Amino acid sequence: MRQNIITQTLRSAVRSAAGPSVPTRAIIIPSTSLNIARSFSSTPLGLKKNKGPNVKTPKQKIKAVEDDEAGANDDQGAGEVVISEVLEKTGVKIEKAVHWAKAVIFEGVERGRGRVTPALLDSVRVQLPDGPGQCHLNAVASITTKGNTLYVEVWDTDSTKHVESAIHQANLPGISPQKTGANTLKIPISRPTTEQRAEILKSLSNTVESAKQQIRMARTDGFKHLGGRKSNGTDEIQKLVDDANKDLDGQLVLAKKEFEKA
């Protein structure tokens, strides 16, 4: 019994020395504290630069558009048949543009000289509601002269308003039709003044530029069909373009000389 008392006394002493028991708790580490590692870079922060977007100059943008329109992926393998067809179609488009410009220039020169001729209305094209497309004024009306006046007699009365509208839309300097009957248009032509001749000449310059724009569009279309600006046949197309532009420039020079004589 004495031994049991001694044993209990020793156990009590050990418990008193160890202190109160503390339950074990889990230690929770916040997730944000784990994300403290930073990516390593050997480049000092002071040397890093913001390159920004790749900005092209205006010339580079224009060249990019031209390359895209003309066909950036060149194909050197276009056959002779394809080249011949493209050249023919491109040539027709260019010829139409040149022919139109020459007709307008001729009318302008005649107008600048003060001459009253039906040729003053050669460039007028009429669009009828039931027609397949635009037609020449001579196909729907007759044009006569009397003194300094042009008379347009429309064969179909219902087409008179369309003919009158077409003459206005032609935007010919000094040409203003007046309706005098159900199917008759009167166009007085007075001798142009110096200011009017300058206006006509300016209009002719704009006409030549418009024709050149049509020619450039025909060239771009031709290049596309050939496979690109470096493809076979493009040199021939460029020659057609150069010859047409030279012809138009020559016509404009002659027109200016005629205006100087007037």
Tens of pLDDT, residues 45-80: 444 444 444 555 654 554 455 445 554 444 454 567
> Above pLDDT 90, what percent of the chain?
36
The rounded distance, in Å, linking the Cα atoms of 12 and 85 is 116
Mean pLDDT across the chain: 77
Predicted pLDDT at 116: 85
Domain 78-106+193-261 has CATH 1.10.132.20: yes
Identify each DSSP E strand in 12-133 by its residue range: 125-127
Q: How far is CA 31 from CA 24, 43, 71, 235, 253, in A?
A: 22, 29, 57, 70, 84
Predicted pLDDT at 123: 83
Identify each DSSP E strand in the chain by its residue range: 125-127, 134-136, 141-146, 149-154, 178-179, 184-188
Please list the residues that pair with 144 across neighbouring strands.
Answer: 151
Query: Are the CB atoms for 145 and 118 separated by under 8 Å?
Result: yes
> Above pLDDT 70, what percent of the chain?
69
The tokens for 156 are 């179909």
pLDDT tens, residue by residue, 76-131: 545 676 888 999 999 999 999 999 999 889 888 888 888 888 888 888 889 888 87
Query: Are the CB atoms for 113 and 262 separated by under 8 Å?
Result: yes
pLDDT category at 221 given cuts 50, 70, 90 is very high
Q: Which secondary-structure segment (H or E) carries 208? A: helix 194-226
pLDDT category at 259 given cuts 50, 70, 90 is confident
Predicted pLDDT at 79: 62
Where along the chain do its domains lie? Answer: 78-106+193-261, 116-188
Which class is domain 116-188? alpha beta
Predicted pLDDT at 15: 52
Predicted pLDDT at 69: 52
pLDDT tens, residue by residue, 193-218: 888 888 889 989 999 999 999 999 99
Whole-structure pTM value: 0.56
Predicted pLDDT at 49: 43
